Amino acid sequence: MLRVVRALAFSAGAIVTGGCSSSLTEAKPLAGSVPVDVTLHRTIGVSGASPLGLPRVRFRPTSHGIVVQYDLLSGPCMLESIRAERAGHVVAIWIVRGGDPGALCAPAILHYEYIATATGLPLDTYEVRLIDQLGDGPGYEIGHASVTVSSAPNE
């Protein structure tokens, strides 16, 4: 039996809009950083959402944490992992994406919505950076914002 595997990857920087940086900067790990607890929720084929204006990044505070919503168009059968780090007043959230080598995928472009939630942060104002990395390639800063973390629920 012949098995054909297709992994499509489209650069998240191919389309740039208001919530994203107009020139992508290669990201480097933060010097002297400590890990931050972070979770990732993914939705594929977001119902009723328009692909216009993608990619798009939104940042908001939550009680003792930060939520980052990242919408983009990408190829099918993506796998992802997440990590976050903090150095002083800077938090970097890395979403690492790549094609699933074990999946049988038809060529397509899909709307992905990623929601990253970093928790356990000390109360303060942080520069939050979202980094998108395809496979083993370099990560690129997709967007950043200043977010003030408090103990009050902001959701």
Question: Residue ranges of the domains in the chain?
Answer: 36-148
| Residue in this structure with the two tokens 């973390």, named with its chain if needed | 149
Hey, is 130 helix, strand or coil?
strand
Cα–Cα distances (Å) from 35 to 41, 45, 93, 118, 136, in that order, read 19, 31, 10, 10, 20
Condensed to tens digits (0 to 9), the pLDDT of residues 68-114 reads 999 999 988 999 999 999 999 999 999 999 999 898 988 888 999 99
Let me know: does 83 contact 18? Beta carbons within 8 Å: no
Condensed to tens digits (0 to 9), the pLDDT of residues 31-82 reads 999 999 999 999 998 666 677 788 999 999 999 999 999 999 998 899 999 9
With a CB cutoff of 8 Å and minimum separation 6, the contacts of 130 are: 57, 59, 68, 70, 93, 95, 116, 141, 142, 143, 144
